Amino acid sequence: MRHKCKFSFSVLMIGNCFIQVASAVEKRNEALIRLEQPDNKKNVLKGTALITTLLSSNITIEDGGVEIVENGKSSVGATVQKGAMQIITRGGIAMNTKISGGKQFVHEESSILDLQIDSQSMRKLSSAYDATVSGSNGIIGQQNVYNGVWVWNTKVGSGGEQNLYAVNKQKGGSAMETVVSGDGRQHVLAGGGAYATTLKDNAIQVVYPRGFVDGLTIQDVAKSFLHVGVEEVVGEVRVNGNGSLYLFAGDVTDHITKEKFSVEGRSDEVLFFVGERDTKHKPQIKIEGLGGEGGNVFFTSIPYDPRHISLSIERLTGSLHFHFNINTMGDYNSDYLLIDDGSGNHTVSVDDSGIELTSPISQKNGLATEINLVTDRSSNGGANFTLANKSGKSIETFDGGTYIYRLCYRDRHADSSGGYTVWYLGMSEKTGCSATPSQRSSKKPKVSTLASFSSNNWNLQSQRESSSSQKQASSRQRSSSAGKNQQDPKKRLPRHLREVPVSALSASSSSENQIMSLSGRTGRYTRSDEHGRIDLSTGTQSLKDEISVHPVRQLRVASQSSHEISVSDFLTTPSTDAILSISVTPGLIFHNELQTARVGRKILDRNKKSSALWSYAIKSKESITTDHIDFKLEQTGVVFGISGLTEFTGGDLYIGGFGSYDQARVAHARGGTSSINIHGIGAYATYFDYNGWYLDSILKYNRYQNSLKAVSTNGLDIEGNYHQWVVGTSFEAGYRFKTWQNGWMQPYGQLTWLQVEGKKIALSNGMIGDIDRSTSLRSEVGVSLGYELGFGMDVSSMAYITAAWVRENRKGNHVTINEQHKFTTDLSGNVGKLGIGLSSFVSDKLKFYAQAHYLQGRKTKQSLQGIVGFRYSF
């Protein structure tokens, strides 16, 4: 006799709705046809529901069909096709089920969970054994386990997923010895538990807050994501090969909360609101045992709410690669690793970044030089850490904003708090970096290193650890690894943390508006600017000659009454040097263009008076080296101009205008080549007195299109584009007199002033460079000696040589990096100049020029400039 039965299934919305429990029929309330047995081919067809009465064997559940296994009955070898479902409930058992795009539900009714006793014996809960789960034609196959039941030995393959969760505040589902391979997934939601799970190939495991993990092996390129708030991770977690363990700090905003308040004489007002974001506490994850060979451990968070994580490990073994996030987030600057008992050789990666590792607030008026990463309380040597890039290759340093950092350690011997080693990132070149720490005394109290970080300090608040027997006695009745019973010690602040008043940084504060200025080679402290920015002059000695941070872990700012203190120089990052270098190139290019525009005028044949069209081409190469500024500048350009002649009683006045176009390449010493395109216009006036005196003046305006390109310490490309303008003027006066019949001497003096627009630029690595408006005041005093060939003829030539002393007088130009560190870009100093030139008339109206200059100075290592051009008179 046929009966009709209605089945209704609710929708479980979790995360991004990745679990959707669909109705077994095409319409929500449509009744399924009840079957006591499948058809002759052992198929459960669409629109039918097989109620297993005793045992079903090797049946196939087709799209739209359902099998219900309940009341202690069993199903063996069933195939659940796409769009089909198998439901295991009320003590039902499923074995060797093959799920191919379909869904299996293993759960127990809440009434049975509450009672758990039928007659005089414990009732057996629903269960499933040796299931295989995979997708079919793009449809995901699912095994859904909830409400206190267990499944064993599930194999999840490509397109499949296993979901472990709790419903209606009941106990969650648990899975033992699940193997996930291909691109399969395992989701452990609140209340769910995964035991002895193995991830292979491209498999993914996601453990959400209040999920539970006991034993995990990750291999190949599989990944596991542990959300902050995971209930517990016990047993051994092994990360091998290219496998990855992600510690994920998710959204810290509480979800919908209900609240009501009463007003006398009125009914209650009921409100629903979203809880406040918890930004005061550092997210924490605790793992009982972590090990593996070659695996990766990533500290991650969601982009719109970045957070740092504190990871506490009781036992660390093997060889793992830890990927830390180091940047300023609230009161914390880094992820943190705390180890009770560590061994093995591990690597630490920190990405090159142009963003400061420490905030101005945490630094106050001092320069923080350390960021703690790891505290290891192991009694016998502990774990060893070295710095590596993303691929695991060993490196020495990395970019941390303005400065370069290294991985170092401080080794502490046993005291009342026990011995420990602190691994930290330091702006240091020498003592104690990336080496194996010495063994410490074994007098270590049994204290857990699980830390509770507040917004004001890094106190290590020890917490009592539960033993394995206590875990087994919990409501979850889960097995766990044996642990050590530990006493609850006094909350004592370890010595190395007592020395760190702000976060985990070695920062110091002092009186307001004071900063450190490394000026010249004296290392003298000076006051800051009005914004409290650190003033670091580029005129400092080499890092390799002076740096010595250990054991001092911060640079303290001198007060007004303090005496001069010797300080160390720190190595800046390539992006810092690139900004400092490109900030001075507009002035150098402008000076070269002025020389090009002036060539030929002061050596005009003064017997040939006429207006003229003229053009010159320039090619120059120069090398500039001074502390943080180190580059080679190559410039190519062309200038076109026109001039008119006005004759006076005592002399001749030439007035003209010109336009220019140049391209420049800036080859940075530490990698990368920046490019600059320059357009300019100008006007000039030159007066020649009949007694031999002359005065030449130029006014010029340039617009620069700068494309900065640099390479980070570990090979990452850095880019930044911006525009600038430069305006300047130059005056030159001289006197020519004959020395012999065809020869002449012309002493001269020149003064050039220019101003470069200030600009705030942003680089692709997050660095901000604030280039202040800068000026240049250059003076030149020299003499030219010339000899004319074919004097008095229509066709003649002139050869000349020039020797000059050039001086840049301006010292006080500044660039501020990341709104914190202020540098002085100082190109002042003396330069010697030698030049040769040749001019020749090829006709009465056409004259060619060629000129070459060589400059040498302390900061200008070499400069070679060549100019060729012509002048056509009319």
Structural domain contains residue 73: no
Closest CA to 410 of 434, 387, 393: 434
Using alpha carbons, select from 343, 339, 259, 329 the residue that is nearest to residue 301.
329
- Whether residue 873 is predicted with pLDDT greater than 80 in this model: the reply is yes
Q: How far is CA 228 from CA 231, 242, 281, in A?
A: 9, 23, 12
560: its two tokens: 């007004």
Chain segment 192-214, per-residue pLDDT in tens: 999 999 999 999 999 999 999 99
pLDDT surpasses 60 at 567: no
Res 108 pLDDT > 70: yes
- The residue assigned the tokens 């003298």 is 524
Which of 396-400, 423-427, 760-764: highest mean pLDDT? 760-764
Say whether pLDDT at 843 is over 60: yes
Query: Between residues 387 and 519, which one has the greater pLDDT?
Result: 387
The span from the CA of 555 to the CA of 236, in Å, is 43
pLDDT, tens digit (0-9, with 9 covering 90-100), for 690-721:
998 999 999 999 999 999 999 999 999 999 99
Confidence of residue 269 (pLDDT cuts 50, 70, 90): confident
Dist CA 788 CA 838 (whole Å): 10
Helix (H) / strand (E) containing 823: strand 821-825
Whole-number Cα distances in Å, 607 to 368, 604, 612, 651, 690? 69, 9, 14, 12, 11
Residue 253's pLDDT band (cuts 50, 70, 90) = low
Cα dist from 524 to 364, 517, 537, 825, whole Å: 19, 6, 10, 17
β-pairing verdict for 768-771 and 813-817: antiparallel
CB-based contact 501:493 (threshold 8 Å): no
pLDDT in tens, 517-550: 333 333 333 333 443 333 444 433 333 333 223 3
Residue 10 banded pLDDT, cuts 50, 70, 90 = very low
pLDDT band at 677 (very low <50, low <70, confident <90, very high): very high
**N- to C-terminal Cα separation, the chain:** 119
Cα gap 639→871, rounded to integer Å: 12
Gap between the Cα atoms of 801 and 111, Å rounded: 106
CATH code at position 604: 2.40.128.130
The residues pairing with 595 across neighbouring beta strands, listed in sequence order, are none
- The whole-angstrom separation of Cα 828 and Cα 632 is 18
Predicted local distance difference test score (pLDDT) of residue 5: 37
Token reading at 400: 């941390």
Record the tokens describing residue 477, joined without a space: 């009745």
- Looking at the DSSP bridge assignments, the partners of residue 759 are 771
Comparing CA positions, the residue from 114, 110, 172 lying closest to residue 477 is 172
Rounded to an integer, what distance in angstroms lies between the CA atom of residue 504 and that of residue 549? 17
Considering only residues 85 and 841, tell me which one the structure prediction assigns the higher pLDDT: 85
Burial (0-12, 13-18, 19+ Cβ within 10 Å), 605: middle
Q: Is the Cβ–Cβ distance between 354 and 818 less than 8 Å?
A: yes
pLDDT at site 1: 38
Rounded Cα distance, 299 and 301, in Å: 7
Please check whether residue 847 is in contact with residue 818, taking contact to mean a CB–CB distance below 8 angstroms: no
* Cα angle 359, 365, 371; round to 5: 45
Those residues whose C-beta lies under 8 Å from the C-beta of residue 545, and which sit 6 or more positions away, are none
More confident residue, 861 or 60: 60
Per-residue model confidence (pLDDT) at position 255? 61
- The whole-number average pLDDT for the span 821-831 is 92
Sheet holding 534-537, edge to edge: 517-518, 534-537, 821-825, 813-817, 768-771, 759-762
Token pair in block for residue 474? 């919990």
**What pLDDT was estimated at residue 564?**
32
User: What percent of the chain is predicted at pLDDT more than 70?
Assistant: 72
What is the percent of the chain where pLDDT is above 90?
53
Mean predicted confidence (pLDDT) in 30-40: 77
Highest mean pLDDT among 31-35, 341-345, 445-449: 341-345
Q: Which helix (H) or strand (E) holds 786?
A: strand 774-789
Q: Is 594 helix (H, G, I), strand (E, B) or coil?
A: helix
How far is Cα of residue 459 from the mean position of the Cα atoms in its chain?
Answer: 27
Lowest mean pLDDT among 12-16, 163-167, 569-573, 578-582: 12-16
Task: Give the C-alpha separation, 832 to 29, whole Å.
Answer: 96
Sequence-separated (6 or more) residues with CB below 8 Å from residue 386 = 345, 346, 347, 348, 394, 407, 434
CA distance 293 to 240: 5
From residue 76, alpha-carbon distances to 70, 82, 150, 647 in Å are 13, 19, 17, 114
Overall average pLDDT of the 828-856 stretch: 91
Averaged pLDDT, 53-65 = 92
Q: Is 684 domain-assigned?
A: yes
Separation CA 516–CA 525 (nearest Å):
5
Mean pLDDT of all residues in 786-805: 80
Q: Contact 380/361 with Cβ under 8 angstroms?
A: no
As a whole number of angstroms, the distance between CA 555 and CA 358 comes to: 14
Confidence of residue 805 (pLDDT cuts 50, 70, 90): very high
3-state secondary structure 430-447: CCCECCCCCCCCCCCCCC
Do 626 and 600 touch, CB atoms closer than 8 A?
no
Higher pLDDT: 515 or 47? It is: 47
Any idea which residue has 């194999």 for tokens?
155
Q: Which residues contact 69 (CB under 8 A, 6 or more apart)?
A: 52, 56, 75, 86, 87, 88, 89, 92, 93, 94
Element (H, E) at 194: strand 193-199
Sign of CA dihedral 503, 508, 511, 517: negative
Decide which of 361 and 604 is more confident.
Answer: 604
| Total number of domains constituting the chain | 1
Q: Is residue 404 a part of any domain in this protein? A: no
Classify strands 693-711 and 743-756 as parallel, antiparallel or unpaired: unpaired
- Of residues 493 and 367, more confidently modeled: 367
Phi-psi region of 333 (alpha: psi -120 to 50; beta: other; left: phi over 0): alpha
Is the confidence at residue 183, as pLDDT, over 90? yes
Report the C-alpha gap between 429 and 416 in whole angstroms: 32
Residue 84's nearest CA partner among 63, 58, 104 is: 63
Sequence-distant (6+) residues with CB within 8 A of 22 are: 9, 103
H helix or E strand, kind and range, residue 573 = none
**Is the CB of residue 482 less than 8 Å from the CB of residue 468?**
yes
**Considering the domain boundaries, does residue 603 fall inside one?**
yes
How far, in Å, CA of 547 to CA of 541, rounded? 9
**Dist CA 843 CA 795 (whole Å):** 6
pLDDT at 12 over 80: no
Strand (E) or helix (H) holding 545: helix 543-546
Taking 50 as the threshold, does the pLDDT of residue 287 lie above it?
yes
Question: For residue 328, how many C-alpha atoms fall within 13 Å in the half-sphere facing its CB?
Answer: 17
Tokens coding 457:
């300090």
Provide the pLDDT for residue 225. 95
Query: Does residue 266 carry a pLDDT above 60?
Result: yes
Q: pLDDT digit string (tens) for 333-343?
A: 789 999 999 99
What per-residue string of b and e applies to 90-104 under the rule 16 or more CB within 10 Å gives b? bbbbbbbbbbbbbbb
Do 636 and 619 contact (CB within 8 A), yes or no? yes
Q: Is residue 761 part of a domain?
A: yes
Instruction: Find the range with the poorest average confidence among 140-144, 508-512, 627-631.
Output: 508-512
Nearest Cα residue to 32 out of 70, 68, 74, 69: 68
Is residue 48 in some structural domain? no
Residues 6+ apart with CB under 8 A from 408: 370, 423, 424, 425, 426, 428, 431, 432, 433, 434, 550
Instruction: Give the range of the structural domain holding residue 817, as residue numbers without chain letter.
Output: 574-873
Establish if 280 belongs to a structural domain: no
pLDDT bin (cut points 50, 70, 90) of residue 681 is very high
Interatomic CA distance for residues 59 and 67, integer angstroms: 9
| pLDDT at position 860 | 86
**What pLDDT, on a 0 to 100 scale, did the predictor assign at position 449?**
35
Rg over alpha carbons for the chain, rounded to the nearest Å, is 39
CA dihedral 174→175→176→177, nearest 10 degrees, is -160
Instruction: Please indicate, yes or no, if residue 670 is contained in any of the structural domains.
Output: yes
